[in-house]
């Protein structure tokens, strides 16, 4: 039985080989020819971010700041240029503070050819954010994705008006997040990218491959030497820019809370040794004399382990929570001192310090 089965299989294979030899056209149908790499690329089309640019670019505007001439107060002259981003259909535009800081008049030019004089709603020197508003209908709005979180390696596009050449798009990736070393007060966390950001790009949009707003372009890194530096540019994260914008719209300025302490994160090992069951802690390095923390009884070397309902897991989160608190509000702060937990009531003060933003 087995011998009969093997003979049938062998005869079938021989017959198939004879048919393929007699009719060669069957070979290409049965065994497809391998596709060349170039042919595969041509079939799929070139890689392009055209759709992302088409979604985002109409909402990126050119900004011209004008000043009165010193010798003739009746004449205005253009003294600066930059970019801005239309973020909603009410005509609100986010740009950089340093783009409009000394302007007597701000002119906004849309990509569809329309031009308007903009009203300055407010500005925040510390974050280098300013909010403008124009009165127009059918405004293009930048796509926003509240669920997007910038990650190292993400592809990004910088859109703006460099050197007043007209709208330009540059390409790169996110090189780092949370960069605070170039911030004047060391607190603002920038997105670092290698997409080119030149003079005039300030205030423009940094978008992802879907055309969604990632950040507001603000500066390119330049060393204090004769050496040119390439591939190191910075943007203000979209979530921070939106938060600052909402504060400015609500109050006309950014109201920040503060308690007057300087601290730093402690390691998880030190935290377990000193702070007990808490998973995070901030060691207090200094207390501002007469400040809210000083009045509440917080001392240097205390370990802050909880503020309100939030565990003090890292310094940045603690600063953000305090900054967002309204001055005059009272918050319960738990500290560990000499191995003992102490609960103190701190009245939030208002931070009125001024900081000069880094310019490109």
- Residues carrying an active site annotation: 98, 128, 202
**Interatomic CA distance for residues 20 and 59, integer angstroms:** 62
Structural contact between residues 347 and 329, judged by C-beta atoms closer than 8 angstroms: yes
Please report, for residues 168, 216, 226, 230, the alpha-carbon distance to residue 223 in angstroms, rounded to integers and kept in the order given. Answer: 25, 22, 8, 10
Parallel/antiparallel/unpaired status of strands 129-133 and 115-124: antiparallel
Q: DSSP state, 326? A: P
Q: DSSP state, 288? A: -
DSSP labels for 30-95? Answer: HSPPPPPHHHHHHHH-----HHHHHHHGGGEEEEEEEEE-SS-TT-EEEEEEEEEEE-STT-EEEE
Q: DSSP state, 189? A: -
Parallel/antiparallel/unpaired status of strands 190-193 and 257-258: unpaired
Two structure tokens written together for 358 = 């880094």
**Interatomic CA distance for residues 300 and 133, integer angstroms:** 45
- Who contacts 64 (Cβ-Cβ below 8 Å, separation ≥6)? 78, 80, 81, 106, 107, 109
Two structure tokens written together for 100 = 């409009």
DSSP labels for 264-285? Answer: EE--HHHHHHHSTT-S--EEEE
CB atoms within 10 A of CB 308: 14
CB atoms within 10 A of CB 59: 24
């Amino acid at each position: 039985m087995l011998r009969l089965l093997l003979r049938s299989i062998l005869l079938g294979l021989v017959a198939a080989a004879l048919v393929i030899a007699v009719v060669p056209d069957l070979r290409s149908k049965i065994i497809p020819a391998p596709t060349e790499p170039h042919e595969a690329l041509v079939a799929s089309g070139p890689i392009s971010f055209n759709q992302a640019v088409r979604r985002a670019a109409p909402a990126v505007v050119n900004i011209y700041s004008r000043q009165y001439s010193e010798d003739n107060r009746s004449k205005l002259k253009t003294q600066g240029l930059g970019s801005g981003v239309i973020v909603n259909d009410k005509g609100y535009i986010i740009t950089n503070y340093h783009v409009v800081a000394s302007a007597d008049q701000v002119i906004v030019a849309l990509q569809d050819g329309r031009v308007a004089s903009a009203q300055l709603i407010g500005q925040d020197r510390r974050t280098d954010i300013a909010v403008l508003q124009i009165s127009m209908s059918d405004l293009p709005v930048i796509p926003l994705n509240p669920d997007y979180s910038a990650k190292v390696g993400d592809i990004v596009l910088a859109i703006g008006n460099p050197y007043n050449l007209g709208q330009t798009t540059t390409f790169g990736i996110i090189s780092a997040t949370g960069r605070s070393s170039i911030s004047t007060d060391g607190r603002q966390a920038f997105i670092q990218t290698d997409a080119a950001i030149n003079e005039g790009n300030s205030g423009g949009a940094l978008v992802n491959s879907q055309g969604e707003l990632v950040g507001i372009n603000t500066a390119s890194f330049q060393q204090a030497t004769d050496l040119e530096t390439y591939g190191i540019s910075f943007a203000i994260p979209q979530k921070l820019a939106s938060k600052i914008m909402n504060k400015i719209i609500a109050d006309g300025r950014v109201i920040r809370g503060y308690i007057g302490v300087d601290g730093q994160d402690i390691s998880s090992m030190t935290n377990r040794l000193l702070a007990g069951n808490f998973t995070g802690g901030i060691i207090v390095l200094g207390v501002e004399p007469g400040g809210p923390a000083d009045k509440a009884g917080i001392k240097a070397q205390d370990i802050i382990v909880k503020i309100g309902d939030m565990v003090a897991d890292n310094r940045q989160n603690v600063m953000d929570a305090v900054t967002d608190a309204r001055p005059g509000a009272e918050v319960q702060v738990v500290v560990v001192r000499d191995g003992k937990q102490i609960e103190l009531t701190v009245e939030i003060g208002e931070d009125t310090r001024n900081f000069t933003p880094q310019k490109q």
